[in-house]
Amino acid sequence: MAYRTLENLNIAALDLMPSPEEIHARVPISSQAAETVFEGRATIQRILDRQDSRVFVVVGPCSIHDSIAGYDYAQRLTKLAEEVRDTLYLVMRVYFEKPRTSIGWKGFINDPRMDDSFHIEEGIEKARRFLLSVTEIGLPVATEALDPITPQYLGDLISWTAIGARTSESQTHREMASGLSTPVGFKNGTDGSIDVAVNGIKSAARPHSFLGINTQGRSSIVRTRGNRYGHLVLRGGEGRPNYDTVSVSLAEKALIRAKFAPNIVVDCSHANSAKDPYVQPLVLADCVHQIRDGSTSIVGLMLESNIEGGNQPIPEDLSKLKYGCSVTDPCIDWSTTETTIRKAWKTLKDVLPRRGK
């Protein structure tokens, strides 16, 4: 009796992927990049432990689609970071993976040619080269962890990781976060609920065992120690912001009830800005004033920023793409970014050294 085919009925192909070890060999980390990553992680950990009074600011494009424009942005941000480093610790937002509500461009790793050809093997190597170029100029980077395999390819070049609003409730992402080498910010849910994020922090702090891959690309049982540097990211939800003093106070109480330090990062974009990029500076200014007026729980801020403001659709003719302009969420432009961060620095430079004392 002939058996019917029961597996892979909806699989068109299974293409081999280079192992993390192979990609690392092609794009090895340099001593300068390693120092940047180490210092980035250590600084953010000290901020979370209240041993460093500065505020860290994750700032950069909604997503990277052009490595040349991305590196241009990184060079500009490096100069600004040096200017404000006594008060604000700047970390470049480098997002390669984009969770989609329905359909759309999934990001630089998944579709680096932006033509639905999905050369993931090419995207992962290009992403690693970009991260290396940025960390080699001394700028730490932050990203969102979406695919649970990706950290094996890129994790050694990352200083801070976000778990997004769509995945904070996911067991897979909580397990992954428990093994990440970076501090991890869990965003509140898309409905605005902070419970899923607090539960995510709680889960990620514990050891886990789950299926993954090792550096040779072999299926493995990954056993983690747990990540004690989980914290909360407020990004609003269902069209309502949650960066105001009442929302921040309620978030503090929820973290303390769960027996965690009240460490809060405010994402100035998404529902907190009603998806209007030029509301972001107002959100950040409000948070800066909260810190000035005595808030000790806001330890970080996030801005979506690019060389050019707004966003653009992906054209069929990619030569028509506007340089330095987002192809995903709209961003503030570079001039606005500089002004916003310098204003925050000016307001906080004499306040933060006394913070919590």
Cα dihedral 64, 88, 227, 233 in deg (nearest 10) = -70
* Single-letter amino acid code for the residue at 168: S
Q: For residue 166, how many other CB atoms are within 10 A of its CB?
A: 15
Rounded distance between C-alpha atoms, residue 259 and residue 201, angstroms: 11
The pLDDT score that the predictor gives to residue 2 is 62
The pLDDT score that the predictor gives to residue 239 is 87
User: Rounded to an integer, what is the distance from CA 59 to the centroid of its chain?
Assistant: 9
Rounded distance between C-alpha atoms, residue 292 and residue 286, angstroms: 10
Digitized pLDDT (tens) for each residue of the chain, 357 residues in all: 566 788 999 999 999 999 999 999 999 999 999 999 999 999 999 999 999 999 999 999 999 999 999 999 999 999 999 999 999 999 999 999 877 666 788 999 999 999 999 999 999 999 999 999 999 999 999 999 999 999 999 999 999 999 999 999 999 999 999 999 999 999 999 999 999 999 999 999 999 999 999 999 999 999 999 999 999 999 999 989 999 999 999 999 999 999 999 999 999 999 999 999 999 999 999 999 999 999 999 999 999 999 999 999 999 999 999 999 999 999 999 999 999 999 999 999 999 988 865
Rounded distance between C-alpha atoms, residue 144 and residue 64, angstroms: 12
Rounded distance between C-alpha atoms, residue 158 and residue 297, angstroms: 24
Closest CA to 122 of 250, 15, 39, 42: 15
Rounded distance between C-alpha atoms, residue 73 and residue 304, angstroms: 12
CB contact at 8 A, 313 and 325: no
What pTM does this model have?
0.96
CB contact at 8 A, 224 and 175: yes
The pLDDT score that the predictor gives to residue 77 is 98
β-strand partners of 237: 240
DSSP 309: S
The pLDDT score that the predictor gives to residue 102 is 62
State percent of the chain over pLDDT 90: 94
The pLDDT score that the predictor gives to residue 6 is 87
CATH for 20-46+55-354? Answer: 3.20.20.70
Q: For residue 59, how many other CB atoms are within 10 A of its CB?
A: 28
DSSP 174: H
The pLDDT score that the predictor gives to residue 101 is 61
Residues across the chain: 357
* Single-letter amino acid code for the residue at 286: D
- Would you list the domain boundaries of the chain? 20-46+55-354
